[in-house]
Structure 1
Amino acid sequence: MGSKYRLLPQLAATFDRLGGTTAVDAFSGSGVVSYLLKAQGFDVVSNDFLGFPTVIARATVANSHVHLTDDLVDAICGPAADDRDFIQSTFDGLYFTREDRAFLDAAWSHIDLLTGPERDLAISALVLSAARKQPRGVFTFTDATRYADGRRDLRMPLREHFRERVAAYNATVFDNGTRHTVVNGDVFDLPTGAPDIVYLDPPYAPPRDDNDYIKRYHFLEGLSVYWRGQTIMHETKTKKLAKRFTPFAYKRTIDDALLRTFEHFRDAGAIVLSYSSNAVPDAARIVELLASVKPEVETIEIGHTYSFGTHAAAARRSVNEYLFVGRDA
């Protein structure tokens, strides 16, 4: 949800035009833009305030050489290494079948023995497997039968998903000749420095309600650390995690959050912001905010369709996606 995968051609052209060798992806999310920057030869700093996107970035951006071997995949997909049952008991009757929940516990019994890029690849494959198996890819509801349309992703056992996702992640591993940094933290804690490009794709503040990623992705966030250090709200039907405040998710705080972000990266060669026409503030206000630190601001408008789900019949919403490019005159 919110992935920039379909915007990559426009982003690639923009980054290529701006040039340089160093880039910061301050809200990495799915990791596709960090990976694009790596593919374009940049030295990338990738950051997200959620845990599971940082694991994905470590597996695909920071990792330049390591793959998961067939023997390791067979072990993870085989019998459990211990008798843990946290997922089976905590999420009994939720999201997945009994066999799928048992697989997640068993897989983690082996992943706990791994370190470094092997661990990151295995967790990334497990997280993506869970996202693909869950209808619409979000965990805000418990009645999966509402979206049981018979597509392959919903019919496949998680164990088979995992094998396929490992193969896909293994295929992403390459070395662009530079070193990359992955950070799990607040954007305002990132070193300022003077990177050639800072790319910003914060949560889009909706005109109503909020944009709470934890509410949508709590299961993936917990799964990425086996819920260690997480606070589960057991009184909720979805067993969600406690909300983590971000000023980017609310219309009352988004203006100040964007301005503070622009000021934080004022020394960058260029600031590139993705934003959407169905969010606040509007394009004119963003130009005004960005112009306070970068006197030359270019607005690129892109027709875009957001998909809410991963199947052919998923609900889609046409919006205008903007790229705001701020540079020194």
Structure 2
Amino acid sequence: MRRKEKINAPTTRYQGSKRRILPWLETIFSTLEFNTALDGFGGSGSVGYLLKSMGKEVTFNDLLKSNYQTGVALIENNNITLNESDINHIFNEQSSHNSNNTIATIYEDVYYLDKENRLLDNLIYNIETLSDMYSGAELKYKKALAYHILFQACLAKRPFNLFHRKNLNLRTKTVKRSFGNKKTWDKSFQEHFRNFNTEYAKFIKSNDKKNKAINQDIFSVTGKFDLVYLDPPYSRKHHNSPQNYAEMYHFLEGIMNYNNWEKNIDLTRVHKPFKCTKSNWNSDLTKNFDALFKKFSNSIIVVSYGNKGKPSIDTIVKLLKKYKKNVTTISHPYSYKLNRNNGIGYREVIIIGR
């Protein structure tokens, strides 16, 4: 974008989010005729939220349970927010004697300070006990929003906003820093939570459509959609497998599987990742793309991809042409916030099949 364009979508710490190029994507979507849309790899929810704001009936899908909560909170939810009473309940320290100590026990000196680990155990217990105050759809959306906000707070307090390695020392050691934001890392969970809650409350609104979030492998999704948007993990040069988001955000998946967390941890690795549900989106990406294009051949297909990804743009275009008569590509300069050097020469490419 040559000029600063307003991005009317919630902020996110999620790697790979398309939030910064939403104005460009909106321009592209505006040229297509559709009423219903599937965001097949929903992730941060940024594109799903854009489609919702454009008045489309949106189905948000993601295999990760943590991302599913984001879809429920921001896409499916039309009017439920967290009030002061809810936040006071979530941060009620009096309930700490009732909560488990899974995080405090397993993740000592891995991701957060000891007192923060104990707090997280308590916050999860308190979010679950929102059921003492609410029921039905209201409870569903209150909990989803609380978890989504908690996830953003967890990411904000992590170096690189990830859980890919044991590196709490980057935050705690006293050295001159060339990266990161120690002030943000050291801000309390409650302050982060309240700030994110204030922000997200402004974005929760209805578009008068029946939007929904689902938690499935992309190959299991059923239904008819005018448009299918696909932003899948892909391999980069020198790598044979697609980027593993479950590996980067396994801690958030652990939170969503709290009662079974301890039984599903890989203790052979120092950062103790949670063993997430395996995706069928595997190393044979050419075969995967072909299968997806065939599956959604009756829909307008919009693929978001990187010009340095594997398989190549040319390969994807060739595959899409098997099912679509009209295939076009549009590109845009793009670099990741945390690693701008890695983004030299990188372009986001939109491939449209009609």
- TM-score for both structures, normalised by structure 2: 0.85
Given the alignment, which residue of 17, 34, 42 partners 2:31?
17
The answer to whether residue 349 in structure 2 is matched with residue 322 in structure 1 is: yes
Segments of 5+ residues of structure 1 without an aligned counterpart are none
Structure 1 match to 2:129: 113
Distance 2:145 2:52 in 1: 17
Residues 22 and 44 of structure 1 are in contact (CA less than 8 Å); yes or no, is this contact kept in structure 2? yes
Matched residue SS, 2:26: helix
Cα distance in 2, alignment partners of residues 147 and 322 from structure 1: 35
Cα pair 2:103 2:121 within 8 Å, conserved:
yes
Q: How far apart in 2 are the matches of 1:146 and 1:295?
A: 52
Question: 3-state DSSP class of the match of 2:309?
Answer: coil
Q: d(CA) in 2 for partners of 1:132 and 1:171? A: 20
Partner of 1:92: 108
TM-score of the superposition, structure 1-length normalised? 0.92
1:242 aligned residue: 275
Question: Take 1:326 and 1:167, find their aligned partners in 2: how far apart are those partners?
Answer: 39
CA contact (8 A) 2:250 2:276 kept: no
Q: Give the secondary-structure state (helix, strand or coil) at the position aligned to 1:307.
A: coil
- Indicate conservation of the 8 Å contact 1:205/1:248, yes or no: no
Alignment correspondent of 1:222: 254
Question: Is 2:206 the counterpart of 1:212?
Answer: no
- Which range moved further: 231-240 or 161-170? 161-170
Is the aligned partner of 1:203 residue 2:233? yes
* Alpha-carbon distance, 1:11 to partner: 1.1
Q: What CA deviation, in whole Å up to 9, does each residue of 1:237-283 have, x standing for no partner?
A: 11102254435452xx0000001001110111x11000102211111
One-letter code aligned to 1:34: G
Aligned to 1:301: 331
Aligned to 1:186: 217
Asked if structure 1 preserves the Cα contact closer than 8 Å seen for 2:227 and 2:302, the reply is: yes
- Of the three residues 265, 273, 277, the one matched with 2:303 is 273
Residue number in structure 2 paired with 1:146? 170
Q: Is the 8 A contact 1:80 1:109 kept in 2?
A: no
CA distance in 1 between partners of 2:85 and 2:223 (Å): 43
Q: Which amino acid counterpart does residue 287 of structure 1 have in structure 2?
A: V
Query: Where does residue 153 of structure 2 map in the other structure?
Result: 129
SS of 2:305's equivalent in the other structure is strand
Distance 1:197 1:214, change over 3 A: same
Structure 2: segments with no counterpart, 5+ residues: 1-14, 131-138
2:136 matched residue in structure 1: none
SS of the residue corresponding to residue 271 of structure 1 reads strand
- Alignment correspondent of 2:10: none
Task: Quote the residue 2:90 is aligned against.
Answer: 76
| Structure 1 position 53, deviation (Å) | 0.7
Q: Distance in 2 between matches of 1:188 and 1:142?
A: 33
Q: Cα RMSD between the aligned structures?
A: 1.8
